[in-house]
Chain A
Amino acid sequence: MVSYLWRRLASHNLALVLIGVLTLIIAAGGTLPQTNRLSPEQLTAWLSEWPLLSLVLDAAGLSNVFGSWWFLLLVLLLLLNMTAGISLLTSYRLAQYSGTKRPQYLLQGDGHLPDLTTLMAEGGSSRVYRRGLLGLMGIPLFHLGLALIVVAALWSAWEGYGAHFELSEGETYAGQTERLKADKGASHAVKFDALLRLDTVHVEIKDEKYLIDLKAKFSVQEKGGDVRYEVVETNHPLAISGYRLYPNNTMGYSAAFDRILPSGERRGLFIHFQAPPSSWGKPYRLERNLLFEWGAFPLFSRMTLSRDKTERLALRVTKAGKEIANRNLEPGDVVDLGEYKLQFRGAVPWLGFYLASERPMWMFFCAIIVTLLGYLLHLLIRFRRVEVVTSETGWEVMAWTMRGDGPFECRWQQWTDQVKER
């Protein structure tokens, strides 16, 4: 019964159906808007512009294909199908190698054994001629790699973690989770036990619109150890405290403040304003609305950060609808917000980063190597097994090859023609 089920699970028909259905679903998911990938603005626009279509797609489960339970189910079924297929295919291939399966080619005769030179051009003269075991195992290896890719992808979906955050020049990040905007797997983050200070930002723009260089220089201290200096740029992430840090190509300017508490204590505060790379190095005027929630009552602020010859910050703050500050600040100016004061220190650049922890990544890429290697072996190496059996009454030549081995088929035909002519 188990053997029967295993064979059903390894069925070629099932593989065809699953591959076909998954192809269509993945193409649909890549074409139709996926709500989990849209920004809040894009989602609102999609829902208001296409109210009926968005409802229909949602009802059909096509608005979040790759996060759906049925997509996962189909992938798991394909994984089972591949696993069962590999086990059967491997035993079949081993049987081909040892000659215990029925041969694809067979010729019997009596009398003397005919000359085998045409058939075995490689010069085999033994009773069993074999070559290309690696080629024989290529396809099972390829499918094994695919199964491992699926396992690694599932592991990554379960355990992988990624989050965006922004850091201003001169600012330090010490693992504060509230600063991270989680992008993947929020519940499985490992502890970030390091201090990361962004020392300088280097941005280079060509022809006033093309970003051609982006570097962030950091002072790094891990687990209370020595301070080291690192440069992070695209394609050169920084490995730190079990994570990797990548620039995410977002950038802008920060209004840097000292927040002065009633006790006289000063705390740094950076308010980020996003700016496109094309505006880098030019005069700018950036606006932002922000809610401060430090005291008993939240403060609502409207800010305009600008730079022409000097940096300026226009700040208007209201508390419970009542205006408590409306000032144009220059570096060094202080504004009193009641419970605390803010001293404007000027504008500094900030960069966006992506902090990721992907332990399954090594397995994913090892599996990819196994997959590609397996297929390459299948493409480049041809398995052939020719066995000669002689007895007092006659002889028998049997051959096992891979499907579609045209050159061997030609050679067999040539040889059998010669034998028949003899």
Chain B
Amino acid sequence: MSGAVAAQWLVVGGYLFAAVLLLFRSRHVAVMAASLASVVWCLHLLIIYRRWQEIGQLPIVTRYEDMTVDALAVAGVYLIIQWIKPDIRLAGRYVLPMAAFAVGAALWYNLGSVPFSPALRTNWLLIHSQLNSLAIGFSTLAAAVILLPDKAEATNKLMAWTFFLWAAMVATGSYWASIAWGRFWGWDPIESWSLATVMAYAFVMHLRLRPSWRQGSRTLVALLPYLMLLFTTYGLLMIRGSIHSQYLFN
């Protein structure tokens, strides 16, 4: 087992241990868990930095790299927001295992690197992919906060930011497509599902404006856009071909 893989398993273990600590009701233990997760996050960041140095390009081309970076965003968004708003700290019970799962699952993919194709040699790759990772981070936290009691306002805010970041990701992707391929929209499966995810978030946010909305009884509906977002990012390319897959995740 290489040093990088061992470090990655250490990150998995660290996030899971911090999540277990969050199951205790003590506030001090929760702070300890968040501190531990923050230290593990720094190691996670270091793994990505080393990979970047090693391959000499942004590590977001292969599925292994993509999932490791997304997990960094998931854990990072949670850690930053829980330090600012400690009342959502317990969301780490769900967020940290998700990040650990992504880091561990990434290791099942080919760990080799792939050089950038000409289409990826642009700053739009950095902007587009980081908006995607941030949207995944915010959406995971929003989905976790939905499961906590009496957090309607925090849920609304996190969903609103997810909506904005995902929509901005789609918009920058559209602009990039216009300069790389000559068309800003092509109803490709990835494009269609990205738009459907934006609309699913819009649907739930409109639904939440209604007086009849009750937090507890409609949790599953609120989680639907998140499931769509995960499917668009990780599942769709398993069942459908896409123009986007010729550059990424091969």
Contacts and interface: CB of A to CB of B under 8 A. Distances in A.
Interface of A: 12, 15-16, 19-20, 22-24, 26-27, 29-31, 34, 37, 66, 153, 156, 160, 162, 184, 206-207, 210-214, 233-237, 244, 246-249, 354-356, 358, 361, 364-365, 368, 371-372, 375-376, 378-379, 403-404, 406
Given A26-B199, A354-B181, A368-B174, A379 B160 contact: yes
B184 A361 contact: yes
Contact of A37 (B185, B187, B196, B209): B187
B118 A356 contact: no
B207 interface: yes
Interface residues of B, number: 52
B196 A26 contact: yes
Given A29-B192, A30-B196, A379-B161, A354 B118 contact: no
A329 B178 CA distance: 43
Interface of B: 114-119, 121-122, 124, 153, 156-157, 160-161, 163-164, 167-168, 171, 174-176, 178-185, 187-193, 195-196, 199-200, 202-203, 206-207, 209-210, 228, 236, 239-240, 246
Nearest to A365: B175
A156 B202 CA distance: 24
Given A16-B203, A34-B187, A364-B174, 11 more contacts: A27-B228, A30-B187, A30-B189, A30-B196, A31-B240, A156-B185, A184-B183, A210-B114, A235-B118, A372-B164, A375-B163
B210 to A, nearest CB: 8
A27 B153 contact: no
B206 A356 contact: no
A244 B182 contact: yes
A211 B193 contact: no
Contacts of B164: 372, 375-376, 379
Given A237-B182, A358-B184, A19 B202 contact: yes
Nearest to B154: A406
Given A212-B118, A233-B118, A372-B167, A19 B203 contact: yes
Nearest to B161: A379
Contact of B206 (A12, A207, A364, A404): A12
Contacts of B185: 153, 156
Contacts of B178: 358, 361, 365
Nearest to B168: A372
A51 B89 CA distance: 53
A90 to B, nearest CB: 17
A20 B203 contact: yes
A23 B182 contact: no
Given A34-B187, A358-B178, A234 B118 contact: yes
A71 to B, nearest CB: 10
Nearest to A146: B202
B115 A15 contact: no
A110 B220 CA distance: 49
Given A20-B203, A30-B189, A246-B182, A404 B156 contact: yes
Contacts of B180: 234-235, 246
A16 B207 contact: yes
A162 B183 contact: yes
Given A354-B181, A375-B167, A235 B114 contact: no
Nearest to A378: B160
Nearest to B121: A235
B207 A246 contact: no
Given A66-B187, A246-B181, A372-B168, A26 B195 contact: yes
A23 B206 contact: no
Nearest to A236: B179
15 contacts: A19-B202, A23-B196, A23-B200, A30-B189, A30-B190, A30-B240, A162-B183, A210-B117, A212-B115, A212-B118, A249-B118, A249-B246, A354-B182, A364-B174, A365-B178
A31 to B, nearest CB: 7
B209 A212 contact: no
Contact of B116 (A26, A29, A212): A212
A214 B114 CA distance: 17
A34 B153 CA distance: 40
Q: Choose among B114, B184, B209, B246 the residue with the greatest number of A CB atoms under 10 Å from its CB.
A: B184
B207 to A, nearest CB: 7
B199 A19 contact: yes
Contacts of B190: 30
B199 A23 contact: yes
B10 to A, nearest CB: 31
B28 to A, nearest CB: 26
Contacts of B167: 371-372, 375
Contacts of B176: 235
Contact of A358 (B124, B183, B202): B183
- Which 3 pairs from chain A and chain B are nearest by CB? A30-B192, A356-B182, A234-B118
A162 B157 CA distance: 41
A387 to B, nearest CB: 25
Contacts of A160: 183
Nearest to B208: A404
Q: Choose among A27, A212, A356, A364 the residue with the greatest number of B CB atoms under 10 Å from its CB.
A: A27
A15 B204 CA distance: 12
B85 to A, nearest CB: 11
B166 to A, nearest CB: 11
A355 B124 CA distance: 22
A160 B178 CA distance: 12
